[in-house]
Structure 1
Amino acid sequence: MKVGLYFGTFNPIHIGHLTIANHLAEHSDLDQIWFVVTPQSPFKKKSSLLDDRQRYEMVYLATKDYLKLRPCDIEFGLKQPNYTIDTLTYLQEKHPDYEFALIMGEDNLKSFHKWKNYELILENHSIYVYPRLSDGKVEKKFNNHSKIFNISAPIMELSSTFIREEIKAGRNIRPMLPDKVWHYIDEMNFYKH
């Protein structure tokens, strides 16, 4: 089985995340997409970042009706600070029969050469890149790389930061969130202060 790993804080998960993940599930050779919820770093406390389990719950609610999309809390149990290479190594040991690939936005690919052990990641894993409206150039060594696949997914310029700011301002953001996630945020009074 080939699994695409979509990393993020998902604070909150929104329709942009789901659209990209579902597009990859339907238009690539990935069998499943796992939303890897990144834990709050003990070194970087952000008051706007919800508790790990609350963010995981939102991802669970958002993906439970999709056969190919899954929440993943694998990083909650790993030593912090954690690096993508460590998560990939751990997942490969835990699921030796699975093939894991990374999913990232074009903006992240631009800084990929700065990631810890990025060469090792590329040696052992494919990367599926979705388009973003952003400036700057991707490193030449990543152009036409045999392990990097550019996916023509819809461009989603919706951010969790924008959604949090809109909620705090008392504006209606319901169309930007999966229905179950909107209800959960509303019920729990998240992001209002």
Structure 2
Amino acid sequence: MKRVGLYFGTFNPIHIGHMVLANHMVEFSDLDEVWLVVTPQSPFKTKKSLLDNHHRYQMVFEATKDFPKLKPSKIEFDLPQPNYTINTLVHLEEKYGVAFQFCLIMGEDNLKGFHKWKNYEAILENYDLYVYPRVSEGIVEHQFKDHPKIHHVAAPIMEISSTFIRKNHKEGKNIRSMLPENVWQYLDEMNFYR
């Protein structure tokens, strides 16, 4: 049975920080694959800066196509919105049965608020969490501190954000080095974030 880490994000756009983190998780933990799950735009929230689901998925596809252990996923696109992680996990279990053992990948900042997630107890009972460090987020000092299902992975800390990339690209700055080459070509060709 393959262990699959689910790395959720809007990936607007996917950048080298996402790629370094996803690749680190699959190479330096017991995960066999990492699926980069593109979070759909909520029909209740329309952000002008958020690209269409298809374009964000395409950029994740472009970024991961040369990395056999990293897979793009649009599994949430067909689920009712607003969607919750527990619903996605149940859907994946129904779709794939026992072929995969799914795990969640999250930053320390998300772990701090994990107790506010819908059905977080059920998630923690049935799924492992792989947590990567975030700058100046401090140490998690609460009920999850030494939990056996929570694995802290000493992944590199990447101080790059999609917001920073979008803002500076719009201002005419060269942000090409922050993106996988295929993503840069797609973004440039489609004239996104101008």
Q: Which amino acid in structure 2 is aligned with residue 143 of structure 1?
A: K
Aligned residue number for residue 190 of structure 2: 188
Work out whether 1:163 is the aligned partner of 2:165.
Answer: yes
Structure 1 Cα separation of the partners of residues 121 and 140 of structure 2: 15
Aligned residue number for residue 104 of structure 1: 106
Offset, 1:136? 5.1
CA-to-aligned-CA distance 1:134-191 (integer Å, 9 cap, x gap): 3355351100100000000000111000000010100000110000000110010000
Offset, 1:96? 1.2
Structure 2 Cα separation of the partners of residues 165 and 21 of structure 1: 24
Aligned residue number for residue 62 of structure 1: 63
Aligned residue number for residue 14 of structure 1: 15
Aligned residue number for residue 118 of structure 2: 116
Query: Structure 1 length normalisation: TM-score?
Result: 0.98
Query: Superposed, which structure 2 residues align to 1:36-115 within 5 Å?
Result: 36-97=37-98, 98-115=100-117
CA-to-aligned-CA distance 1:86-107 (integer Å, 9 cap, x gap): 0000001111121000000111
Aligned residue number for residue 30 of structure 2: 29
Structure 2 Cα separation of the partners of residues 151 and 106 of structure 1: 10
Q: Which amino acid in structure 1 is aligned with residue 165 of structure 2?
A: I
RMSD between superposed Cα atoms in Å: 0.9
Aligned residue number for residue 145 of structure 1: 147
Aligned residue number for residue 178 of structure 1: 180
Structure 2 Cα separation of the partners of residues 108 and 134 of structure 1: 13
Query: Structure 2 length normalisation: TM-score?
Result: 0.97
CA contact (8 A) 2:108 2:137 kept: no
Structure 1 spans left out of the alignment, 5+ residues: none
Q: May I ask how many residue pairs the two structures share in their alignment?
A: 192
Structure 2 Cα separation of the partners of residues 92 and 60 of structure 1: 23
Structure 1 Cα separation of the partners of residues 88 and 136 of structure 2: 27
Aligned residue number for residue 128 of structure 1: 130
Percent of aligned pairs sharing the same letter: 66
Q: What SS is found at the alignment partner of 1:88?
A: helix
Structure 2 Cα separation of the partners of residues 77 and 134 of structure 1: 36
Structure 2 Cα separation of the partners of residues 136 and 4 of structure 1: 24
CA contact (8 A) 2:7 2:105 kept: yes
Q: Which amino acid in structure 1 is aligned with residue 8 of structure 2?
A: F
Q: Which amino acid in structure 2 is aligned with residue 18 of structure 1?
A: M
CA-to-aligned-CA distance 1:97-126 (integer Å, 9 cap, x gap): 210000001111111110000000000000
